[in-house]
Chains A and B, each alone.
Chain A
Amino acid sequence: QLQLQESGPGLVKPSETLSLTCTVSGGSISSSDNYWGWIRQPPGKGLEWIGSIYFSGSTYYNPSLKSRVTISVDTSKNQFSLKLSSVTAADTAVYYCARLTFGNVYFDYWGQGTLVTVSS
């Protein structure tokens, strides 16, 4: 059974960079049928796609966040990572990593999510 697990600091100071890693187990991140993505959800609000990456390193980002987002992949560790720079309180959210399946473009496996709070 495929599993994804987010890890990283739960508290980030304003103007700093948020960094999270997603570790994939029970399957290969190098699957040709899948992208891997980050989605966030501010408290009490809806879901927002941040961006997605293919095992080759090809990326797609939400245009509204593109200037601040970098997603990378490490196939040797079966991990992919998120960096979000110049964070503000508006970036406080639960951050999820998930597998994105080609064809119909949907997220079929999700991590449990990790709350990141931006505060001094």
Chain B
Amino acid sequence: EIVLTQSPGTLSLSPGERATLSCRASQHVSSTYLAWYQQKPGQAPRLLIYGASNRATGIPDRFSGSGSGTDFTLTISRLEPEDFAVYSCQQYGSSLTFGGGTKVEI
């Protein structure tokens, strides 16, 4: 099973700042199969990025994804108040796993 380790666990930033979130895989992950989700308290996850760098429908362009192999990054260029949430990465290889999440807090 491929383990996804997200860092940092918590990121404390202010609106307008840049957020850089890391997702590291224990084995190689095809970029095709790396996705990112946003989750707010009491809500279901929302797809942000698929295929490592493709924004899902309706996702603002301040969200971007990059990376390959075992290291992937989600960047939020300028934090808006509604962006404070938990972000999780997900991979599909021999099985499907999620990372533990990074909380972006004010």
Binding site for B on A (CB under 8 A): 39, 45-49, 52, 60, 62-64, 96, 98, 101, 103-108, 110-113
Contact = CB atoms under 8 A, between A and B. Distances in A.
B90 A106 contact: yes
B92 A62 contact: no
20 contacts: A39-B98, A46-B99, A47-B37, A47-B45, A47-B90, A47-B98, A47-B101, A49-B96, A62-B95, A63-B1, A96-B44, A98-B44, A104-B35, A106-B35, A107-B35, A107-B37, A108-B47, A108-B56, A111-B44, A112-B43
Contact of A49 (B46, B56, B98): B98
Given A47-B90, A62-B96, A107-B47, 6 more contacts: A98-B44, A103-B32, A106-B47, A107-B45, A108-B50, A111-B44
B88 A46 contact: yes
Nearest to B88: A47
Nearest to B100: A46
Contact of B44 (A46, A101, A110): A110
Contact of B50 (A62, A63, A104, A111): A104
Nearest to B36: A106
Contacts of B46: 110
Interface of B: 1, 32-33, 35, 37, 43-47, 50-51, 54, 56, 88, 90, 92, 95-101
B1 to A, nearest CB: 7
A44 B33 CA distance: 26
A112 B51 contact: no
Contacts of B95: 49, 62-63
Nearest to B86: A46
A110 B100 contact: no
B46 to A, nearest CB: 8
A48 B99 CA distance: 9
B99 A105 contact: no
Contacts of A64: 1
A48 B98 contact: yes
A105 B56 CA distance: 13
